[in-house]
Amino acid sequence: MQTDKLREMLKQAFDESTRIYQERGFQRRIGFGKKPALVSVDLANAWTRPGNPFTCENIDEEIIPGMQRLLKACRDNGHPVVHITTAYQITDRNDPNSDMGLWHHKIPVEAVNLKDEHLWAIDSRIAPIKGEYVLMKKRASAFSGTPLAGYLRSAGVDTILVTGVTATACVRTTICDGLAEGFRTIAVKECIGDRVPGAVEWNLFDIDAKFADVEPVDACVAYLNSVKRHNTAG
């Protein structure tokens, strides 16, 4: 939980950074497109439930309820949903053939072992339904070494609403790569989490300046509902 001192420090940093960014032409808007998809990053049990090294904050009170609203809007209107998770087949750090690569030198990726399906299964409160794609990644970005970009393009998607954990790593790199792949990137404010105090606020502020539009759940749900009505009317 953040302290008042931390919030004040962040506010001061944001105020000064905003001044610099606006003077130099940053913080432009990319806007919503015509065909959205929801890309949910690592909202699996290892990240959403207590007791794992990867466990994140604000899951129960904010991220899950927001995700439930987004999922309903997507499902009601037929928008693609991609649930992304991470797990490793060979978690022996001494095995040179490990699918962990070198990442184990930095973080405890052995805590998400492919053999324990419960760890990497999507949280049951936002569980995938028939027709929703579940993608397993091995790196931080959901685009790195995966068919995600091709899948989205084949569905005609031009806009991705990105949610999940963590703001400092997997969500941020997914957003950066999403923009690089040519998608309008939208970060859903209340549906992005992390373990470290202040990490979400700082990363969303910086992402909004350079890589995506940070939008609240309310605006994203309204957009998801309006696209269906627009297409029907057209």
d(CA 136, CA 139): 10
Is 176 noted as a catalytic residue in this protein? no
Out of 56, 74, 170, 191, pick the active-site residue. Answer: 170
d(CA 53, CA 58): 15
Sheet containing 213-215: which strands, arranged edge to edge?
Answer: 133-137, 81-86, 36-41, 159-165, 184-193, 213-215
Give the containing element (helix H, strand E) for 67: helix 64-77
Sequence-separated (6 or more) residues with CB below 8 Å from residue 136: 84, 85, 86, 87, 120
Residues marked active site are found at 170
